[in-house]
Structure 1
Amino acid sequence: MLALYTPDYFRSDFCGREWKAFEDRQRSHRAVTGVDAKALIPVLWEPVQNIPPGAAHIQYDNLDLGENYAQSGLRRILASDPGGDEYRRIVNHIAHQILVAAEHFRIRPVNDLDISEPGSAGPFPSATERAEPGSRALLFVAARTSVNAHRKATDPGCHGQSPTDWNPYHAESPQPLVERASRLLEERGFTVRTEIVSDVLGAALDEARGQGQVAVLLVEASAAADEPFERALRAYDRSNHPGSAAIVPCDPDEAGDGPRGKAYWEAVRGALPFNWARGAGDPLPLLQSGIGSDQFEAVLHAVIAKAQNQLVSFLEILKINSLETPRTTSPSLPVLTTVATPRSRTGLAPPIAAHLSSHQTPFEKEQEDDP
């Protein structure tokens, strides 16, 4: 098993359960064969300040991989010199470890393994300890109110006086979705702020990213075509906002193949077409649609973790680029060069057309396009 060490890895309940399941298999192998299988291979992807006690017995800062790896992690090395000699050397070393483990330790598989059971919890911190101190999250909601909801097409119990009262899962719980999401994130240690989607969504996301905050959009599919939601969501969809995700909840009828299901999926694809396309083939897309009440908690935690990792990577690359970009006192200006031309019989040189680039001017292109 290859474990990519990051701060979020050790805050993940699922990763902790996966860790425990594999360690249990190693213990069973040792009990049967008397051999201590070293088949759990750690890779320091990002620096981790505090390794949980349940994982501290595994040596991860391999001196053979160099001081740079031990201090900064493999992600930093990859970002600073993609495909460089140091990165290739480390990857080759890890690949050799995997090959040795596969050849020497025949750990038996486990049938009918269920890591979701309470007894399968791993040795990592509990939910209330997962977020770093000071971590913040933004929740943006785009939903109708009881005044503008289309009662014939939408369950009136879903809506209230404000978009923040929206509760697509009201049959299971009276708690509005925003309150439910806030509670789940606060249990992880986040400080949560809620806003309604508006025309300043893009600016708010840019500001949040600059402050290291993650954001989740909670979108009602049937409200996505309403203004100002449609305009704001279209702009969001066309832009790149690292550290953000969108969840479009639904009820069982909307997730099915009936008329309501068709309208739901058309609304999702119509509101966020680029995010929809980017998520094709991704096991955990940052646009989560078709999410029922029983899935919401797990999906929220998963996309928050992915958005955090994405934001960390983005900010790290920005930092590296800023360090590598040479400082200049003033921007370089284009230089116009002329070629000596023979004088005409009148004694005057013919006019020379000077262009800053080889691209056609709009007028030239228009002339060329005319039949």
Structure 2
Amino acid sequence: MQVRDSLEPYFFLSYARRRGPRVLIKRFYGDLCAELRDLRARTSEPFGRPYLDVLSLQVGQDWNAGLSDAVGHCRTMVALYTPDYFLSDFCGREWKAFEDRQRTLREVTGADARALIPVLWEPVPAVPFGADHLQYENSDFGEDYARSGLRRLLVMDPGGEYRRIVKLLAQQVLIAAEHFRIPIANGLDLKAPEAAGPFPSASDLAAPGSHAVLLVAARTTATAHPHSADPRCPCHGDSPADWNPFHAEHEEPLAAHARHLLEQSGLTVRTETVSDLLGQHLERARAQGQVAILLVEAWAAADEAYRNALRAYDRENHPGSVAIVPCGADGTGESSQSKAYWETVRGAFPLNWASGAGEPLPLVQLGVLSDDFDSLLHAAVAKAGNHLFSFLGEEAVHRTTPPRPCPS
């Protein structure tokens, strides 16, 4: 039994390995280990040390062999769901290898061990096909967890809601580890072609800055002129993507014009409409190495359909993104239309209004005229691309309480 347990990590922590500090990952690992140690204090069975690559791999060790052995022998797997997780080829391989072991147990015994335990570390736009059959939402963890993920709870409330959820997770791990023994997969090689999982391979992902997404926040003919006797308007159309603030100079909508400019520069471009999922779309674009450009109609920024999403964007610093708010001829000078324009955009982007005045190319570009749009778009994309290259992943966060030691 001692030999068997020494080869069976109590859990394997599967996560996307970003560049930069992993202090929060290590903190969660330590807290979960400590909770498990407390739960098992009254048992005498040896405790297989949980596996975290940055702590478990030894200097000089073959990293693929070490990871493969751990995934093939661990009792449970805790998967930290993030947008990056589902874009990681290697995370997909870890996920598939353990899911195959669970499937073997079900086929042989009919038992569902539920030993692959998903944790919503950060909000995810969607779980890819092939992994979406695994339930990851948990009402016992509360609305804050479902909305923001466990990582933010660790930062904002490490001694409260975060701690309660870690205790519940420890109970899940304990039940799966003690009541079921997943068949061991000896000789597992995560780098083998047949080990590929349901997530995209590295060759499928774009190089940072080579793809762009245009996100449009604009009114339609119906929402801009709901009571007009003549619903036709040169600025608006049937969809937000039809918006054309520079109709006197360009016949095509602004999003189409921007897309053509970027495609001429060699970028692959897609167009979407801003929604209440804007933050998740921006996180996904960043994880995929895509530059994000918001094209915002000033008057639409005050509409309920866009207001909350744009205000949230104003509060967050999304690497690899820039917002452009065009200004028609009626928005210049000292006219009442001009004053209304500036009051509206100031209300939509109050923080960037205040902080961007001294920057040569701030996160939000206001008052953009037709003659300046083309050159500004290229400059904005270049800046956003540079942000993608320099982004270091997780920010270092000052810990309010020290992590508890892991069990040995």
Q: TM-score, normalised by structure 2?
A: 0.45
Q: Which structure has the higher relative contact order (CA within 8 Å, separation 6+)?
A: 2
Q: TM-score, normalised by structure 1?
A: 0.49
Which protein shows a greater Rg?
Answer: 1
